[in-house]
Amino acid sequence: MNARAPYQREIMDAISNPFTERVVMMTASQIGKTELLLNVIGYHVDQEPAPILKLDPTLELGEAFSKDRLAPMIRDTPALQGKIKDPRSRDSGNTLLHKTFPGGHITIAGSNSPASLASRPIRVLICDEVDRYPQSAGTEGDPVSLAIQRTSNFWNRRIVLVSTPTVMGISRIEKAYIVN
């Protein structure tokens, strides 16, 4: 549905550009940031399989994203339906927070949960609403840095940081946007 929001196209093109490692998106709310991230996930499931981490401010928000947005996209998109099994089917091996597909997986994590950030290597890292992340994931340090560490073995990694900005001067997304 690019016609409704043509500005989303350039951002999605930047994220799928093989020469781009990092994309920072700082915008108002309700302009389709999360929607566009869903497209990025769908693209990778169907066209360029990779291990993906979608990081949300909390595990609860991650679960809501999985149920309310990711699951309907998979259900309603023929190209994705056959690739990600419904978690309700017994042999799917899929859960709300971890879904496999041929060549990759999507893991959904909460920035407040260091355990959910650790473990797997990740090539495509998608951090949504980073201004709502805590300074530290438990006692383990900056959640965005912890997540970026997961990508360090991939020459073709993708790091996408997205947020509505909060307070000028201390905003995570503002800092990332200016450095970029």
Backbone angles phi, psi at 13, to 5 degrees: -60, -40
Kindly tell me the sign of the dihedral angle through the C-alpha atoms of 60, 64, 70, 74. positive
Q: Which does 1 bind (CB under 5 to 8 A by kind): Mg ion, ligand ADP, none?
A: ligand ADP
Cβ 31 to ligand ADP shortest distance, Å: 5
Would you say 154 or 177 has its CB closer to ligand ADP?
177
Residues of span 6-35 touching ligand ADP by CB under 6 A: 8, 29-35
Cβ 61 to Mg ion shortest distance, Å: 10
User: Per rule CB under 6 A, is residue 166 in the interface with ligand ADP?
Assistant: no
Output the residue with the shortest Cβ distance to ligand ADP.
32
Strands of the 124-127 sheet, one edge to the other: 22-26, 158-163, 124-127, 51-56, 104-110, 98-101
Cβ 34 to Mg ion shortest distance, Å: 3
Classify 132 in phi/psi space as left (phi over 0), alpha (psi -120 to 50) or beta. Answer: alpha
Under the rule (CB under 6 A), what is the footprint of ligand ADP?
1, 4-5, 8, 29-35
